[in-house]
Protein backbone atom coordinates (compact mmCIF):
# COMPACT_ATOMS: atom_id res chain seq x y z
CA UNK A 1 0.00 0.00 0.00
CA UNK A 2 1.61 3.25 -1.18
CA UNK A 3 0.97 6.36 0.89
CA UNK A 4 1.88 9.70 -0.67
CA UNK A 5 -0.39 12.31 0.91
CA UNK A 6 -1.09 12.79 4.62
CA UNK A 7 -3.98 14.92 5.91
CA UNK A 8 -4.31 16.35 9.42
CA UNK A 9 -7.82 17.57 10.24
CA UNK A 10 -8.34 20.16 12.96
CA UNK A 11 -4.86 21.45 12.16
CA UNK A 12 -5.47 24.89 13.69
CA UNK A 13 -5.95 23.35 17.15
CA UNK A 14 -3.13 22.73 19.61
CA UNK A 15 -2.93 18.97 19.08
CA UNK A 16 -3.15 19.42 15.31
CA UNK A 17 -0.35 21.97 15.31
CA UNK A 18 1.80 19.58 17.30
CA UNK A 19 1.13 16.73 14.88
CA UNK A 20 2.05 18.84 11.87
CA UNK A 21 5.27 19.91 13.59
CA UNK A 22 6.16 16.24 14.08
CA UNK A 23 5.24 15.36 10.50
CA UNK A 24 7.57 18.09 9.25
CA UNK A 25 10.42 16.13 10.84
CA UNK A 26 9.37 12.99 8.96
CA UNK A 27 8.03 14.19 5.59
CA UNK A 28 8.54 16.91 3.01
CA UNK A 29 5.95 19.67 3.15
CA UNK A 30 4.68 18.61 -0.28
CA UNK A 31 3.27 15.40 1.21
CA UNK A 32 1.37 17.10 4.04
CA UNK A 33 -2.14 18.54 3.75
CA UNK A 34 -3.99 20.29 6.57
CA UNK A 35 -7.65 21.11 7.00
CA UNK A 36 -9.91 23.07 9.30
CA UNK A 37 -13.13 25.08 9.32
CA UNK A 38 -11.33 28.38 8.74
CA UNK A 39 -8.91 28.99 5.89
CA UNK A 40 -7.66 32.06 7.73
CA UNK A 41 -6.51 29.97 10.71
CA UNK A 42 -4.53 27.73 8.34
CA UNK A 43 -2.73 30.56 6.53
CA UNK A 44 0.56 30.05 8.38
CA UNK A 45 0.77 26.54 6.96
CA UNK A 46 0.53 27.80 3.40
CA UNK A 47 3.55 29.98 4.12
CA UNK A 48 5.45 26.76 4.91
CA UNK A 49 4.52 25.19 1.59
CA UNK A 50 1.80 22.98 3.09
CA UNK A 51 -1.47 22.64 1.18
CA UNK A 52 -4.52 23.86 3.10
CA UNK A 53 -8.14 22.81 2.64
CA UNK A 54 -11.41 23.84 4.27
CA UNK A 55 -13.22 20.92 5.91
CA UNK A 56 -16.33 21.40 8.00
CA UNK A 57 -17.56 18.09 9.45
CA UNK A 58 -21.12 19.44 9.27
CA UNK A 59 -20.79 20.09 5.51
CA UNK A 60 -20.50 16.89 3.48
CA UNK A 61 -19.65 18.80 0.30
CA UNK A 62 -16.64 20.42 1.93
CA UNK A 63 -15.48 17.04 3.22
CA UNK A 64 -15.64 15.40 -0.19
CA UNK A 65 -13.44 18.13 -1.64
CA UNK A 66 -11.05 18.16 1.33
CA UNK A 67 -10.45 14.40 1.35
CA UNK A 68 -10.04 13.87 -2.40
CA UNK A 69 -6.58 12.51 -3.22
CA UNK A 70 -5.70 11.82 0.42
CA UNK A 71 -4.02 8.50 1.21
CA UNK A 72 -3.68 8.69 5.01
CA UNK A 73 -5.75 10.89 7.29
CA UNK A 74 -5.70 11.89 10.95
CA UNK A 75 -9.20 12.57 12.23
CA UNK A 76 -8.78 14.67 15.37
CA UNK A 77 -11.87 14.48 17.50
CA UNK A 78 -14.07 17.56 17.10
CA UNK A 79 -14.58 19.89 20.05
CA UNK A 80 -18.37 20.02 19.62
CA UNK A 81 -19.38 17.86 22.59
CA UNK A 82 -22.92 16.59 22.03
CA UNK A 83 -22.64 16.67 18.24
CA UNK A 84 -19.50 14.65 17.69
CA UNK A 85 -21.19 11.36 16.79
CA UNK A 86 -22.85 12.86 13.72
CA UNK A 87 -19.84 15.00 12.79
CA UNK A 88 -17.40 12.09 13.02
CA UNK A 89 -19.70 9.78 11.09
CA UNK A 90 -19.83 12.40 8.33
CA UNK A 91 -16.03 12.61 8.23
CA UNK A 92 -15.56 8.83 8.29
CA UNK A 93 -18.10 8.30 5.51
CA UNK A 94 -16.44 11.00 3.40
CA UNK A 95 -13.00 9.47 3.96
CA UNK A 96 -14.36 6.08 2.95
CA UNK A 97 -15.96 7.53 -0.19
CA UNK A 98 -12.78 9.44 -1.09
CA UNK A 99 -10.71 6.26 -0.97
CA UNK A 100 -8.58 7.09 2.07
CA UNK A 101 -6.33 4.08 2.66
CA UNK A 102 -5.39 4.62 6.30
CA UNK A 103 -7.33 6.51 8.99
CA UNK A 104 -6.09 7.50 12.45
CA UNK A 105 -8.70 8.65 14.99
CA UNK A 106 -8.10 10.28 18.38
CA UNK A 107 -10.41 8.63 20.90
CA UNK A 108 -10.39 8.30 24.71
CA UNK A 109 -9.69 5.46 27.15
CA UNK A 110 -12.27 2.64 27.32
CA UNK A 111 -15.16 4.59 25.76
CA UNK A 112 -17.35 1.48 25.93
CA UNK A 113 -17.33 1.41 29.75
CA UNK A 114 -16.22 4.86 30.91
CA UNK A 115 -18.72 6.95 32.91
CA UNK A 116 -17.49 10.17 31.24
CA UNK A 117 -20.60 11.85 29.91
CA UNK A 118 -19.36 12.08 26.31
CA UNK A 119 -17.74 8.62 26.15
CA UNK A 120 -20.61 7.29 24.03
CA UNK A 121 -19.64 9.72 21.25
CA UNK A 122 -16.18 8.17 21.01
CA UNK A 123 -17.65 4.67 21.20
CA UNK A 124 -20.00 5.44 18.30
CA UNK A 125 -17.15 6.98 16.30
CA UNK A 126 -14.98 3.92 16.80
CA UNK A 127 -17.86 1.70 15.70
CA UNK A 128 -18.32 3.80 12.55
CA UNK A 129 -14.66 3.27 11.68
CA UNK A 130 -14.93 -0.47 12.29
CA UNK A 131 -18.00 -0.69 10.04
CA UNK A 132 -16.46 1.36 7.24
CA UNK A 133 -14.68 -0.03 4.19
CA UNK A 134 -11.48 1.90 4.97
CA UNK A 135 -8.85 -0.82 4.54
CA UNK A 136 -6.52 0.21 7.37
CA UNK A 137 -7.05 2.22 10.52
CA UNK A 138 -5.54 3.04 13.90
CA UNK A 139 -7.60 4.23 16.85
CA UNK A 140 -5.46 6.02 19.43
CA UNK A 141 -7.18 6.22 22.80
CA UNK A 142 -5.49 9.24 24.31
CA UNK A 143 -5.41 9.57 28.07
CA UNK A 144 -6.03 12.98 29.67
CA UNK A 145 -3.55 15.76 28.95
CA UNK A 146 -1.25 17.27 31.56
CA UNK A 147 -2.15 20.56 29.89
CA UNK A 148 -5.72 20.33 31.19
CA UNK A 149 -4.30 21.73 34.43
CA UNK A 150 -3.47 24.95 32.61
CA UNK A 151 -6.46 25.17 30.30
CA UNK A 152 -9.49 23.53 31.93
CA UNK A 153 -8.64 22.95 35.57
CA UNK A 154 -6.58 25.99 36.52
CA UNK A 155 -8.90 26.69 39.48
CA UNK A 156 -7.44 23.56 41.10
CA UNK A 157 -4.08 25.32 41.29
CA UNK A 158 -5.31 28.28 43.33
CA UNK A 159 -5.35 26.61 46.75
CA UNK A 160 -7.96 23.89 46.96
CA UNK A 161 -8.25 20.97 44.52
CA UNK A 162 -11.78 19.58 44.84
CA UNK A 163 -12.04 15.95 43.78
CA UNK A 164 -14.31 12.94 44.08
CA UNK A 165 -11.71 10.64 42.52
CA UNK A 166 -10.70 9.27 45.95
CA UNK A 167 -7.66 7.02 45.38
CA UNK A 168 -8.31 6.54 41.67
CA UNK A 169 -5.24 6.75 39.47
CA UNK A 170 -4.92 8.26 35.98
CA UNK A 171 -1.97 7.92 33.60
CA UNK A 172 -1.99 11.53 32.35
CA UNK A 173 0.24 12.29 29.38
CA UNK A 174 1.64 15.39 27.68
CA UNK A 175 -0.04 16.73 24.55
CA UNK A 176 3.31 16.93 22.76
CA UNK A 177 3.81 13.23 23.35
CA UNK A 178 0.36 12.50 21.93
CA UNK A 179 1.16 14.65 18.89
CA UNK A 180 4.27 12.57 18.29
CA UNK A 181 2.28 9.35 18.67
CA UNK A 182 -0.39 10.51 16.22
CA UNK A 183 2.24 11.45 13.65
CA UNK A 184 3.94 8.08 14.04
CA UNK A 185 0.61 6.25 13.70
CA UNK A 186 -0.17 8.24 10.56
CA UNK A 187 3.10 7.48 8.77
CA UNK A 188 3.57 3.90 9.97
CA UNK A 189 3.06 1.18 7.36
CA UNK A 190 -0.64 1.32 6.61
CA UNK A 191 -1.76 -2.24 7.08
CA UNK A 192 -4.18 -3.79 9.50
CA UNK A 193 -6.60 -2.43 12.02
CA UNK A 194 -5.51 -1.64 15.57
CA UNK A 195 -6.59 0.14 18.72
CA UNK A 196 -3.87 1.61 20.95
CA UNK A 197 -4.22 3.10 24.43
CA UNK A 198 -1.71 5.90 24.93
CA UNK A 199 -0.95 6.39 28.61
CA UNK A 200 1.63 8.45 30.44
CA UNK A 201 4.65 7.12 32.24
CA UNK A 202 2.91 6.59 35.58
CA UNK A 203 -0.59 6.37 36.98
CA UNK A 204 -1.09 8.93 39.76
CA UNK A 205 -3.78 9.84 42.28
CA UNK A 206 -4.84 13.45 42.71
CA UNK A 207 -2.96 13.50 46.04
CA UNK A 208 0.23 12.36 44.29
CA UNK A 209 -0.16 15.01 41.59
CA UNK A 210 -0.74 17.71 44.20
CA UNK A 211 2.35 16.61 46.11
CA UNK A 212 4.43 16.92 42.94
CA UNK A 213 3.00 20.36 42.15
CA UNK A 214 3.68 21.61 45.67
CA UNK A 215 7.20 20.19 45.67
CA UNK A 216 8.34 21.80 42.41
CA UNK A 217 6.45 25.11 42.36
CA UNK A 218 5.50 27.92 44.71
CA UNK A 219 1.95 26.58 44.83
CA UNK A 220 0.40 25.43 48.11
CA UNK A 221 -2.50 23.24 47.04
CA UNK A 222 -4.68 21.30 49.46
CA UNK A 223 -6.67 18.31 48.23
CA UNK A 224 -10.32 18.40 49.28
CA UNK A 225 -12.05 15.04 48.88
CA UNK A 226 -15.82 15.22 48.32
CA UNK A 227 -18.62 12.98 47.06
CA UNK A 228 -19.87 13.14 43.48
CA UNK A 229 -23.12 14.83 44.54
CA UNK A 230 -21.32 17.37 46.71
CA UNK A 231 -18.87 18.08 43.89
CA UNK A 232 -21.69 18.75 41.44
CA UNK A 233 -23.37 21.15 43.85
CA UNK A 234 -20.12 22.99 44.55
CA UNK A 235 -19.42 23.39 40.82
CA UNK A 236 -22.94 24.69 40.23
CA UNK A 237 -22.35 27.10 43.10
CA UNK A 238 -19.34 28.40 41.18
CA UNK A 239 -21.69 29.18 38.28
CA UNK A 240 -21.19 26.13 36.08
CA UNK A 241 -24.26 24.77 34.26
CA UNK A 242 -25.57 21.38 35.43
CA UNK A 243 -24.34 19.56 32.30
CA UNK A 244 -20.79 20.92 32.65
CA UNK A 245 -20.74 20.13 36.36
CA UNK A 246 -21.85 16.56 35.68
CA UNK A 247 -19.22 16.19 32.97
CA UNK A 248 -16.48 17.45 35.26
CA UNK A 249 -17.45 15.04 38.00
CA UNK A 250 -17.66 12.16 35.53
CA UNK A 251 -13.92 12.56 34.90
CA UNK A 252 -13.26 11.91 38.60
CA UNK A 253 -15.59 8.92 38.61
CA UNK A 254 -13.71 7.62 35.55
CA UNK A 255 -10.48 7.66 37.56
CA UNK A 256 -12.06 6.35 40.75
CA UNK A 257 -13.45 3.32 38.93
CA UNK A 258 -10.04 2.45 37.49
CA UNK A 259 -10.62 3.45 33.86
CA UNK A 260 -7.72 5.92 33.72
CA UNK A 261 -4.72 3.89 34.82
CA UNK A 262 -2.44 1.75 32.68
CA UNK A 263 1.05 1.31 31.29
CA UNK A 264 2.85 3.35 28.65
CA UNK A 265 3.91 0.21 26.73
CA UNK A 266 1.84 0.94 23.62
CA UNK A 267 3.06 4.53 23.48
CA UNK A 268 6.66 3.34 23.73
CA UNK A 269 6.16 0.66 21.06
CA UNK A 270 4.67 3.22 18.67
CA UNK A 271 7.13 6.06 19.24
CA UNK A 272 10.31 4.28 20.29
CA UNK A 273 10.68 6.25 23.53
CA UNK A 274 9.10 6.81 26.93
CA UNK A 275 6.62 9.64 27.47
CA UNK A 276 7.47 12.61 29.67
CA UNK A 277 6.76 12.12 33.37
CA UNK A 278 4.37 14.38 35.27
CA UNK A 279 7.24 15.57 37.46
CA UNK A 280 9.29 16.62 34.44
CA UNK A 281 6.29 18.36 32.89
CA UNK A 282 5.65 20.30 36.11
CA UNK A 283 9.27 21.42 36.30
CA UNK A 284 9.22 22.56 32.66
CA UNK A 285 5.92 24.42 33.14
CA UNK A 286 6.54 25.88 36.60
CA UNK A 287 6.13 29.51 35.51
CA UNK A 288 2.94 28.83 33.54
CA UNK A 289 1.42 26.84 36.42
CA UNK A 290 2.12 29.59 38.93
CA UNK A 291 0.73 32.22 36.56
CA UNK A 292 -2.44 30.16 35.99
CA UNK A 293 -2.96 29.83 39.73
CA UNK A 294 -2.51 33.57 40.24
CA UNK A 295 -4.95 34.38 37.44
CA UNK A 296 -7.73 32.42 39.15
CA UNK A 297 -7.31 33.96 42.61
Q: DSSP of 120-181, one letter per residue?
A: HHHHHHHHHHHHS--SEEEEEEE--BTTHHHHT-GGGGGSEEEE--TT--B--B-HHHHHHH
Contacts of 75 by beta carbon, 8 Å cutoff, 6+ apart? 9, 88, 91, 92, 95, 103, 104, 105, 106
Give residue-wise pLDDT tens across range 173-219: 999 999 999 999 999 876 689 999 999 999 999 999 999 999 999 99
pLDDT of residue 190: 62
Q: For 163, phi and psi rounded to 5 degrees?
A: -155, 145
- Between the CA of residue 36 and those of 5, 91, 135, 142, 184, what are the distances in Å? 17, 12, 24, 21, 21
Q: Is the pLDDT of residue 112 over 70?
A: yes
Query: Per-residue pLDDT averaged across 130-135, rounded?
Result: 97
- Judge if pTM exceeds 0.85: yes
Per residue in 235-283, pLDDT tens? 999 888 999 999 999 999 999 999 999 999 999 999 999 999 999 999 9
* Domains, the chain, ordered by start: 6-143+173-198 (3.40.50.720)
Q: Contact at 8 Å (CB) between 141 and 109?
A: yes
**Confidence at residue 295, expressed as pLDDT on a 0 to 100 scale:** 83
Q: Which residue has the higher pLDDT, 74 or 156?
A: 74
Amino acid sequence: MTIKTYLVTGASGKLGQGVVAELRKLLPASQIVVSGRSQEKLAHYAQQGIETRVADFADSNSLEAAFTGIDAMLLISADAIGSRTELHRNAIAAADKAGVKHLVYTSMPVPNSSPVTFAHEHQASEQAIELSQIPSWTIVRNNWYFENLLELQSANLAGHWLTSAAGGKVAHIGRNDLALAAAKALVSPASGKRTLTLNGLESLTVDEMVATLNRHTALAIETVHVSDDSFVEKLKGFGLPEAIAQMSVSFDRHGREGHGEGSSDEFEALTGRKPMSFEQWVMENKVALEAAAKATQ
